[in-house]
Amino acid sequence: MTSFRKHTVSVESFESISSFWRFNPRDLKWGCPFVLPVWLQAWWSVFGSKFNLNLCAVKQGQQTIGIAPLLVDGQTASFIGDTDVCDYLDFIVAPDREQEFFDVLLDHLGRQGVKRLDLKPVRPDSKVRTVFADVAAKRGCEVSFDLLDIALEFDLPGSWDEYLLMLTGKQRHEVKRKLRRLNEAGHINYRVVEDAKHAKNEMDTFIALFGSNRADKAAFMIHRMTSFFRLLAENMAAAKMLKLIFLDFNEIPVAAAMCFDHDSTMYLYNNGYDDRYKSLSVGLLCKVFSIKDSIRRGRKKYSFLKGAEAYKYRLGGKEVPLYKCEINAHII
């Protein structure tokens, strides 16, 4: 344990931060699903074997003021996670305690021989961009940001009719036309799988649909990635955040979406559809149904997450830039 004035830095485990999150969920700002202990543990279990874990908490007495979910490779520290499966990342910090958290953290990392931080992807409203960059620059560190990608999201209105009015006239007409055509073609069933037991049984269907319509997605879902998706679904279901969505056509699953429900936001993490039903726009309409369901649940925001696919714009998405941040010595 490293001391700094009245603060301490403690080495943590996934179990210890999971316990803190379960019993003190409001003490820190857990800004997105990708920094939650259940997510970090799933990623580390599948992909973390070649790294050194540096999961630490800054405390003032018995109070935890922030958690740094980091891994170390040589003299470089980066977030637990990667750009393939984590859309954006950040530190977990108590409101109004950010500056002291980052000051203590930088001293701690310096003592550990860390000379460079490679932090990605981060949002414009992340603690990295709004606070950490300034703290590091004032200490003489070189700080740079480069545009890495974009995400798309939008605020949800209070009703489905209000959502339709948010779309352009052309897109509103297209959504209504596609829904009418699908309903006229056969029997439609939209279902949401949420509990761990049923999610485990349905993951085979989701994974098959995930790679059905695109060769690159099929190639992406290698054995290790399949293991990650299964463990992630299990963990998020146990945390009551999983929404595994299926669109059935004449009792056949033809489209699926894996969503996460966190802090009044619905996150569309991944999806796929049976290419044989492409003419019925089942992939797009599965997402439309998930938006309608999110409005019914009273969620405030819908996030399409990373990537600039055209359908995200058509369904109302607004761009959010994602950055790579590099912070170079001298940290101490």
**Residues 192, 203 contacting (CB under 8 angstroms):** no
- Residue among 83, 79, 60, 59 at smallest CA distance from 68: 79
| Residue 330: per-residue pLDDT | 61
**Residues 287, 311 contacting (CB under 8 angstroms):** yes
Structure confidence at residue 260 as a pLDDT band (50, 70, 90): very high
Q: Rounded distance, CA 128 to CA 59, Å?
A: 19
Structure confidence at residue 4 as a pLDDT band (50, 70, 90): very low
Q: Which domains, from first to last, does the chain contain?
A: 2-149+322-328 (3.40.630.30), 157-299 (3.40.630.30)
Q: Looking at the predicted structure, is the pLDDT value of residue 106 above 80?
A: yes
Q: Looking at the predicted structure, is the pLDDT value of residue 55 above 90?
A: yes
Q: What is the pLDDT of residues 197-230, one digit of tens each?
A: 899 889 999 999 998 877 788 788 888 999 999 9
| Residue 316: per-residue pLDDT | 97
Mean residue pLDDT across the chain:
94
With vertex at residue 214, the alpha carbon angle to CA 212 and CA 216, rounded to the nearest 5 degrees, is: 120
Q: What is the pLDDT of residues 6-52, one digit of tens each?
A: 899 999 999 999 999 999 888 999 999 999 999 999 999 999 988 99
5: left (phi over 0), alpha (psi -120 to 50) or beta: left
Tokens of 177: 């036309």
Q: Rounded distance, CA 40 to CA 232, Å?
A: 9
Tokens of 236: 């998020």
